[in-house]
Each structure stands twice: as C-alpha cells, then as structure tokens.
Structure 1
Amino acid sequence: MAALGVLLGYWLSLHRLMFSWEVVLAAAAAFCICGGGMTVNDFFDRNVDAKAKKNRPLPSGRIGERVAFNFASSLFLLGAILSLFVNSEVFFIAVGASLFLLAYSAVLLKYKYLGNWVVAGLTSLTFLFGAAISGEYFLAGMVGALAFLSNLGREISKDIEDRKADRGVKRSLPMVLGVKASAAVAAVAYLLAIAFSVVPFAVGLVAGIEFMLLLLISYGVFALCVIQLMQGDYAESRKTSKFAMAIALAAFLMALV
C-alpha cells in the first residue's frame, strides 16, 4: 500500500500517468521503510503480544529478538539508500519517516491517542513522498490530507473496538475522552475528509463527470461511516471507511486518465 501511495502521489504531482526509474526507486524505498516499521513495531510490542497473541513470530520464539531488530534496521537503511538515488527531498522524507516509525514503536506505542496521529500522518506521507520526485506538492498534498483524516478516523474507531484489550497496557483516546467523544472525533475526521476532497475540484485542478460521480459516491460512503459510528457499529464503520477511501482515490486516479 505504501508503494501504491508513492505512485499515486507521483502521478498527481505530474497530473498524468507516467513511470520512471525515480518513482520505482521511491516506491521500493517506501516498501522497505514500511516493512521496517512493521517489524520494529512487533519488536517493541513483543511483551504485549506474548500475552494476547502468543502465536506471532516473536512471542512464539520462531524469530529471535536480535534477528527482528537487525532486520528492521536493515530495511530502514535500504530504504534510505534507495531514496538517496532519487533526490535530496525524497531522502530527507525517508529518513524522517524511519525515525518517526522508530520513535512511535519505542515511545508512543503505549500512548495510542498520540500514535493515532503518527500512523495517519505517515500513511498520508506516502503521497508527498511520491510528489517529492517532481517537487509539485499541492494536489498530492490535498489527497494526502484526505488520507490522513480517513486513517485518523479509522485508527480511533479501532481503538474504540480494542478498548477492553488495551486497558492496563496502553492508553487510547476512548480511555481519555470516553467512547462517545472519541466516536465524535472520528466522525469529524471523516467529515473533514469529505471537505478536503472538494478543494482540488474547487480550484480547477481536476474535473470530469467520472471524477465527480465517483467523488459523490465516496461522500455517501463516508456519510455511512459517520452513521455507523453514531450507532455504535465501530467495526463496520472502520471497514466502510476503507471502501470510501478507495472510491475517493479511484476518483482522483480517473481524473488523471
């Protein structure tokens, strides 16, 4: 998914579909960094997984702790090296993302109400990562903002689902604000995602009947997310938000064809 975000960010920055060796390297770098982030997350979360998810590679002993950490470090390093061959902007984003992923896993993993923002931010960063190849950020940034808000809503919804399992282990937004207030924050994030998706059309960067049709459909699906949240159906709301985001991304991709 990270590599696809880089591709879409690159295409949005160019306003057309195009492949180049730079975007291939950047997509590969994003893939490595994302893999490193997932591995280092498992490394720092191993004690929690030992209680709740004993069959995972680290708690079960199938993979040693040193091996996992060295593998994550190697992926981060490879991602940085690959990005260095693209340009300095892509390299600095790659290094920054790697440091954030490491900090999130080492420090913020217990504080999920902060980690939600980091995860959503790093997800949206893939679009800017692709746009950094050309240096044109506006349209990719708008789609990145849409992805950030959609992912933020989904992360909060997941925390509401996981609140019982997290109790005594992690500190999430539902524990700080309560379930209803957290659901309201997630709903606002989804509504703001709708608002941000309008901006590129409003300023004349994208147009077309197909684009508007798909975007209107995504609005309806995002609205369904909000309704499901308010009804307390958090799991379904989270699934629906993925569908809404996929339709919105398809709309922007259609505008480039």
Structure 2
Amino acid sequence: MYCAAVDGDDVRETARGAVELARPGNCVAAAVLTATGAFVAGAGDALVPAAIAAATTAFAVAAGNAINDYFDREIDAINQPDRPIPRGAVSPRGALGISGVWFAAAVALALALPALALAIAGVNLVALVTYTTVFKGTPGLGNALVSYLVGSTFLFGGAAVGRPEAVVVLGLLAALSTFAREVIKDVEDVVGDREEGLRTLPVAIGERRSLWIATGSLVVAVVASPFPYLSGTFGGAYLALVAVADAVMLYACYEAFADPTAAQRRFKYGTFLAAVAFVAGRAVLLV
C-alpha cells in the first residue's frame, strides 16, 4: 500500500509538472488575444474559425513553453529551480514528448483555418522552436521574436475570420509593449543568463541601457495608442481604458530600474487592461 501511495504521488506530481510546463495562464492569455483579434476584425458569423484559432494558439503556446523549458533546464536550475524539470517532476525527455503532443494538436487545428491563418500558424510554430535554440541568446533578436509572436496573435485571429488588415495596428502596439516587457524579464534573469553564457541584451550592453531601450519601445506604443480611436476603429471606452493601461505600463518601466521582478508583475496588469480596452472599444461601436 505504501508503494502504491508513493506511485500515486509520483503520477500526480508528473501530471502537475506537465500542466506547469504549459503555463496555463500564458496559454489562456494568448488565446484571449487571438479571440480579441477575431472580435475586433468582426468575427460575426465566423465564430467557429475564431474559436479554432484561439484553441490553436493555446496549444502552440503550451508546446513552445515546454520546449523552452527543455532547452532552458540548466538556466532554470539557477533562475527558476521550482520549475518542473529542475525539481524533477518531469524528465527532459518527457518535456520533449509533451511538447510534441501539443505541437501536433496545434497543427491539426490550424489545418481547418483559411490559408493566411494557416501560414501565420506555420511561421509561428517554427519561430517558437527556433526561439530558444537560435535567437534567445542573441541581443535584442530574441526579444523581437517574442514581440512578433505576441503581436501576431491579433493578426492570426483577424486572418481566421478573413479580415487581418483590421488588426494590424493592434498587433504593432502589442509587439512594442511586449518588447519592453521581455527586456525587463531579461534584466530580471541576468544572473543565470550570464552564467550560462547567453548574450541577452542586458548581458551585452548592461541592465540600465537595456531598460532605457525597453522604456523607449513602450513610449512609442503609448504615443501611437490613440490611433485606433482617432481612425474610428474603436469608441471612447478604448481611449479611457488604454490611458490607464499606458500609465500602468509606464510606471512598470520606471519601477524596473529598482525592482524588475515587481515591474514584470505590474506590466502584466497593464497588458491585460490594454486587451480589455481593445474589446470594450470595439463593443461600444457594435451597440
């Protein structure tokens, strides 16, 4: 009975580790961004493609997170020792297998979407795999790739319902703000990255200079953020909410100079508020 209990505990810990590999919060957030892109583009009668696109995004992000943890397992042993692989909940080979299943699910779902959406999904899946293996340790390029991936979730949602052009500006705004957040994250992880020989932006040019670059990227996004309202894409609710989101993210950049970990958490609140602003701004025009 004792052995059975131990085995049961092991199974539960492995299952928990598999779920943690996916980062469910990130998967849901990315799916919501895709759904937001579809909604802003005017999903209308195309609710099924919008739902498929959101599910595809969730599986792709889960797969990318798992493969990232596989390649980052030695760095995570320093920076994030409680993650599934460093703590022994999931073996490196197990993480690869789990990632493969989720990649297969994403591909299977994407095949049901229009050609442009399928092309975006294909590019993004390749980008997710190459991020850790090729671009992550290249100053700025890894950040830019992640920024593209986040921005493209809006484009993917728009393409799924046949109107990608309606969400190009939102994708650009999301990419610029994501670049700022990713640089802050690299500053937070600079100790482990330096020990593993990764040449992230803070390692290459210093933490303070990197944070100024992050702030500059966000300032561009903030200056451009009223454009969807001025162009008539969104109503007044967007302008009010995005102003709050801009303020939260700007403060996070300021906070990052003293506490990048706290700034990371605050920045996530700002990006959530920005997504709410997109939905509310569109909903107002539909009433």
Normalised by the size of structure 2, how large is the TM-score?
Answer: 0.80
Code of the residue aligned with 2:219 in structure 1: it is L
Match of 1:240 among 254, 266, 280: 266
Match of 1:56 among 83, 86, 98: 83
Number of residue pairs matched?
254
* Displacement after TM superposition at 1:107 (Å): 2.1
1:173 and 2:191 equivalent? Answer: no
Quick one: distance in 1 between partners of 2:82 and 2:244? 40
Match of 1:148 among 161, 175, 188: 175
* Displacement after TM superposition at 1:54 (Å): 4.6
* Displacement after TM superposition at 1:224 (Å): 2.2
Between 1 and 2, higher relative CO (CA 8 Å, sep ≥ 6) is seen in 1
Match of 2:191 among 161, 164, 167: 164
Checking the alignment, whether the CA contact within 8 Å between 2:229 and 2:238 is kept in structure 1 is no
Aligned to 2:130: 103
Match of 1:182 among 188, 210, 228: 210
Q: What does the per-residue CA deviation read over 1:16-44, in whole Å, with 9 as the maximum and x for residues that have no partner?
A: 77761111111111111111101111111
Match of 2:222 among 191, 194, 197: 194
Structure 1: segments with no counterpart, 5+ residues: none
Describe the shift of the 1:52–1:237 C-alpha distance in structure 2 as closer, same or farther (beyond 3 A): closer
Describe the shift of the 1:183–1:17 C-alpha distance in structure 2 as closer, same or farther (beyond 3 A): farther
Checking the alignment, whether the CA contact within 8 Å between 2:139 and 2:199 is kept in structure 1 is yes
Aligned to 1:39: 66
Match of 2:254 among 227, 232, 254: 227
Structure 2: segments with no counterpart, 5+ residues: 1-28
Code of the residue aligned with 1:237 in structure 2: it is A
Checking the alignment, whether the CA contact within 8 Å between 1:142 and 1:196 is kept in structure 2 is no
Describe the shift of the 1:211–1:64 C-alpha distance in structure 2 as closer, same or farther (beyond 3 A): closer
Describe the shift of the 1:222–1:63 C-alpha distance in structure 2 as closer, same or farther (beyond 3 A): closer
Checking the alignment, whether the CA contact within 8 Å between 1:36 and 1:75 is kept in structure 2 is yes
* Displacement after TM superposition at 1:122 (Å): 0.8
Describe the shift of the 1:214–1:49 C-alpha distance in structure 2 as closer, same or farther (beyond 3 A): closer
Code of the residue aligned with 1:250 in structure 2: it is V
Describe the shift of the 1:63–1:227 C-alpha distance in structure 2 as closer, same or farther (beyond 3 A): closer
Normalised by the size of structure 1, how large is the TM-score?
Answer: 0.89
